[in-house]
Structure 1
Amino acid sequence: MSLKLEWVDEREEAGAGEAGWPTLLTRLLNEAAEGEGVAGGIVTLTLTDNGGIRELNRTYRGLDKATDVLSFPMREQGAEEFEILYEDDYETTTVDILNGEAGEDETEDDEPGNADRIEELLGDIVISVPRMHEQAVEYGHSAERELGFLFVHGFLHLMGYDHGTEEEEREMFAKQEAILAKAGLTR
């Protein structure tokens, strides 16, 4: 199983200097996933503007304001397994959500090792590019560093991390900074 980053750009046009973003974010995804023991899955990244993220924030969080990043995890926290029923043979495959491994309930006609693997959807991350640029200026670092920070922050939310308490915030932000430092994106 492998990690995949799917990319959606809702903006009317990309800005200058964005050509390296897919490579940077794929590298950060791999670093962050390795640290969390995630061997595979799909993360969808949507780049939007302040209006787009404001609408999502209002719809899904009840907050009528723009923000920098939103995360929509697909994993149920604490869920271990679920069964998938295939229409063609009505065979079941058990997918271990935490480990991202598929195992097959074999029938007589099955050949071991030929199970169709279903890639786990880890979740969606949405970043407001204008807000990202504003924050890069505000914090005095590069747009790539701020983009990386927001992306890793979003990924850790997909993994179940939060920053509702001081202890949770310390843990999450320490993980973010370690991943960014490993990628050379320091302040």
Structure 2
Amino acid sequence: MTINIEYEAEKKLKIPYEEIITSVVEEAIDYENCPYEAEINVLITDNEDIRQINQEYRNIDSPTDVLSFPMIEYELPANFDHLEEESYDSFNPETGELLLGDIVVSVDKVEEQAEKYGHSVERELAFLIAHSMLHLFGYDHMQEEERLVMEQKQEEILSRRGYVR
């Protein structure tokens, strides 16, 4: 598995963010029974940069906590059956790893939301990574039923790694 983590924010998180990201990514991959070694890119940035990315890709001119850019289109969330047959582009030609996608996290929002929700910065970062990983697996939360499924999966992934409120 390859997890490329870039830290571009000036503000530094005073937590073992690489360990947290790696742990949650690994758990999400195991939880969803992904049959492949995977590659994920994670960018840690600030509110201004994530606002620009949000504006460019979603036409929303405000900062957000996390953005997910899946590389795979799923017929059903976390259904990997069609990947080898239909899309060679889903795999890194050099490593053979499944290209799941990119995650962008705002360090400012991690700290703000941890305080707002009354839990640790570690737990907030873990939550945002779990949430984003589920998006990379094709889950969404636009409808109530989808939201409930995502929330349950997020909590299960987090609790398996000890990130509880």
- Scaled by the length of structure 2, what TM-score is found? 0.87
Q: Give the letter for the 1:176 counterpart.
A: Q
Q: Give the letter for the 1:135 counterpart.
A: Q
Structure 1 residues 83 and 122: CA distance shift in structure 2, 3 A: closer
- Residue in 1 aligned with 2:28? 32
Larger radius of gyration: 1
- Residue in 1 aligned with 2:57? 60
Give the Å deviation of 1:13.
Answer: 4.8
- Residue in 1 aligned with 2:123? 145
- Is 1:130 matched with 2:126? no
**Deviation digits for residues 111-161 of structure 1, max 9, x if unmatched?**
xxxxx7522211000000101100000000000000000011011000000
- Residue in 1 aligned with 2:38? 41
Q: How far, CA to CA, are the matches of 1:51 and 1:13 in structure 2?
A: 12
Q: Give the letter for the 2:23 counterpart.
A: R
Q: Which runs of 5+ in 2 are unaligned?
A: 76-81
Q: Give the letter for the 2:123 counterpart.
A: R
Q: How far, CA to CA, are the matches of 2:122 and 2:26 in structure 1?
A: 17
Q: Give the letter for the 1:76 counterpart.
A: E
Please list every run of at least 4 consecutive aligned residues from structure 1 whose deviation after the TM superposition is greater than 4 angstroms.
none
- Scaled by the length of structure 1, what TM-score is found? 0.77
Q: How far, CA to CA, are the matches of 2:96 and 2:130 in structure 1?
A: 24
RMSD value over aligned CA atoms?
2.0
Of residues 43, 48, 53, the one that matches 1:51 is 48
Q: Which runs of 5+ in 1 are unaligned?
A: 85-96, 103-115
Query: Is the partner of 1:66 in helix, strand or coil?
Result: coil
Give the Å deviation of 1:37.
Answer: 1.3
- Aligned pairs for 1:1-187 within 5 A: 3-15=1-13, 17-18=14-15, 20-38=16-34, 39-78=36-75, 80=83, 81-83=86-88, 117-187=95-165
